[in-house]
């Protein structure tokens, strides 16, 4: 199993200069190779392999104009070629967008493999540096001297903070959590971040909205500064620090929420939301992005896999809000503004979100029973088990 430890790093002035030079060379290689790959495809119709980019980097180093590339370690430069190759593989597979050029503004990073760093007694030595990097270890129950990192990624955020991410391969798998015998359906929303089938409402902390006033003030202050001045850089650092606080608070909330759900339930059912399509709504785009539903699902997936839980993702087209969780009656229409409704078949009064969470749980249990593929990705895939079942009809109204 692979895990990672991200720690704060405090480089000296000389070390910071070496790392800054490395970031610039990594960015240059990425942009040069990307431009060459793009022109080669559009002008000659040729695809570019990793070996060809490697040879291009060698020719680039031989150019006297780029002789400064020899001043930094060659490993981060090779790694950026591998990252770009992976980015194109993900793009052609439909998992990511087209790779973009890197900017000198914002977050910078460089990745070192084992041939370019040493990890001795919990101290990190990087290539082209004389002494170790000073870092702060934040896991008192883990002895850093016992770790054997495979890769190290050094990064610097826009606010000037330095970090090191240590990727570690371990042979020991974490012990599965004891069974609880409980299952839960989770309906995600904006007003309430999540509503469970048990009736629990998890409030939406709205981290970005609470910081918008300060963030807007810092952005106005940055706009008034002269471009290229030191004061503008200081103002930009404050904007980056405000975004960092929002990002860290959001990540902390997501980790605590997902950890509690995984600890208390054996089966967790959620809905396959089309977040990319939903953020196209100009009125709700910022609120939806602030919820970070995609990151919530990613955290749930790896935590369920790590601790022996099961995550079931039901079809996004399943009418969870319009279906009565008591009798299965399906409404013809249900507007988004309607938060409560009464079933015309059995008379049950429903809260829209709690009812949707109950239907998500029922669909998840049906999927767990038959093992069908519940993710909808066009007509080539099998629809969810609930969708495949025969639908009994009474008085012209379909029922699930």
Task: Tell me how far apart the alpha carbons of residues 107 and 79 are, in angstroms, rounded to a whole number.
Answer: 17
| Rounded (10°) CA dihedral 76, 81, 86, 87 | 100
Using the 8-state DSSP alphabet, how is residue 106 labeled?
S
Cα 82 to Cα 19, 108, 145, 289, distances in angstroms: 20, 17, 29, 30
Which residue carries 């249990």 as its tokens? 365
Q: Is 353 annotated in the active site?
A: yes
Task: Tell me how far apart the alpha carbons of residues 360 and 335 are, in angstroms, rounded to a whole number.
Answer: 19
What pLDDT was estimated at residue 69?
Answer: 95
Q: Is 192 annotated in the active site?
A: no
Task: Determine contact, residues 304/312, Cβ cutoff 8 Å.
Answer: no
- Using DSSP bridges, classify how beta strands 117-120 and 123-126 pair: parallel, antiparallel or unpaired: antiparallel
**DSSP of 247-263:** HHHHHHHHHHHHHHHHH
Catalytic-labelled residue, pool 157, 290, 315, 353: 353
Task: Tell me how far apart the alpha carbons of residues 246 and 207 are, in angstroms, rounded to a whole number.
Answer: 6
Task: Tell me how far apart the alpha carbons of residues 37 and 250 are, in angstroms, rounded to a whole number.
Answer: 37
- Three-state DSSP state, 93: coil
Which residue carries 């767990």 as its tokens? 368
Task: Determine contact, residues 157/163, Cβ cutoff 8 Å.
Answer: yes
Q: Is 171 annotated in the active site?
A: no
| Residue (of 268, 264, 253) closest to 202 by Cα position | 253
Task: Determine contact, residues 117/125, Cβ cutoff 8 Å.
Answer: yes
Which residue carries 């012990």 as its tokens? 175
Q: How many CB atoms sit inside 10 A of residue 183's CB?
A: 18
Task: Tell me how far apart the alpha carbons of residues 369 and 272 are, in angstroms, rounded to a whole number.
Answer: 19
What pLDDT was estimated at residue 103?
Answer: 94
Catalytic-labelled residue, pool 157, 271, 290, 315: 271
Catalytic-labelled residue, pool 157, 187, 290, 315: 187
What pLDDT was estimated at residue 370?
Answer: 67
Task: Tell me how far apart the alpha carbons of residues 2 and 53 are, in angstroms, rounded to a whole number.
Answer: 28
The per-residue b/e assignment along 142-173, b for 16 or more CB within 10 angstroms, e otherwise, is: eebeeeebebbbbbbbbbeebbbbbebeeeee
Per-residue pLDDT of the chain (400 residues; tens, 9 = 90+): 788 999 999 999 999 999 999 999 999 999 999 999 999 999 999 999 999 999 999 999 999 999 999 999 999 999 999 999 999 999 999 989 999 999 998 899 999 999 999 999 999 999 999 899 999 999 999 999 999 999 999 999 999 999 999 999 887 777 888 899 999 999 999 999 999 999 999 999 999 999 999 999 999 999 999 998 999 999 999 999 999 999 999 999 999 999 999 999 999 999 998 888 899 888 889 999 999 999 999 999 999 998 999 999 998 888 998 899 989 899 988 888 888 989 998 888 999 999 999 999 999 888 876 655 444 333 333 333 333 333 333 333 333 3
What pLDDT was estimated at residue 398?
Answer: 34
Task: Determine contact, residues 106/244, Cβ cutoff 8 Å.
Answer: no
Cα 186 to Cα 222, 265, 320, 370, 384, distances in angstroms: 41, 12, 11, 21, 17
């Amino acid at each position: 199993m692979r895990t990672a430890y991200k720690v704060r790093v405090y480089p000296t002035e000389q070390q910071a200069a070496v790392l800054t030079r490395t970031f610039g060379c990594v960015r240059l290689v990425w942009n040069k190779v990307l431009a060459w790959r793009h022109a080669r495809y559009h002008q000659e119709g040729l695809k570019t392999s990793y070996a060809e980019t490697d040879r291009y980097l060698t020719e680039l180093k031989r150019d006297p104009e780029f002789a400064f590339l020899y001043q930094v370690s060659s490993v981060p430069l090779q790694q950026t070629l591998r990252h770009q190759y992976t980015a194109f593989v993900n793009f052609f597979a439909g998992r990511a967008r087209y790779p973009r050029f890197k900017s000198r503004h914002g977050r910078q990073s460089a990745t070192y493999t084992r041939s370019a760093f040493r990890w001795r007694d919990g101290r990190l030595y990087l290539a082209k540096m004389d002494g170790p990097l000073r870092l702060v270890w934040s896991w008192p129950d883990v002895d850093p001297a016992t770790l054997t990192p495979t890769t190290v990624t050094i990064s610097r955020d826009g606010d000037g903070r330095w970090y090191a991410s240590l990727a570690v391969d371990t042979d020991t798998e974490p012990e599965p959590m004891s069974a609880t015998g409980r299952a839960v359906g989770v309906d995600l929303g904006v007003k309430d971040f999540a509503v469970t089938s048990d009736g629990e409402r998890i409030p939406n902390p709205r981290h970005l909205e609470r910081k918008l006033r300060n963030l807007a003030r810092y952005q106005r202050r940055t706009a008034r500064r002269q471009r290229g001045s030191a004061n503008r850089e200081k103002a930009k650092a404050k904007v980056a620090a405000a975004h960092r606080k929002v990002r860290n608070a959001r990540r902390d909330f997501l980790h605590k929420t997902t950890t509690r759900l995984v600890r208390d339930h054996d089966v967790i059912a959620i809905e396959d939301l089309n977040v990319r399509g939903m953020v196209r709504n100009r009125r709700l785009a910022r609120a939806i992005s602030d919820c970070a539903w995609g990151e919530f699902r990613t955290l749930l997936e790896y935590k369920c896999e790590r601790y022996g839980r099961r995550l079931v993702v039901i079809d996004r087209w399943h009418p969870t809000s319009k279906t009565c969780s008591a009798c299965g009656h399906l409404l013809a229409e249900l507007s988004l503004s309607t938060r409560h409704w009464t079933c015309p078949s059995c008379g049950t009064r429903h809260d829209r979100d709690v009812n949707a969470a109950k239907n998500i749980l029922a669909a998840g249990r049906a999927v767990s029973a038959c093992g069908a593929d519940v993710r909808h990705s066009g007509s080539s895939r099998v629809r969810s088990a609930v969708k495949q079942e025969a639908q009994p009809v009474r008085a012209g109204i379909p029922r699930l």
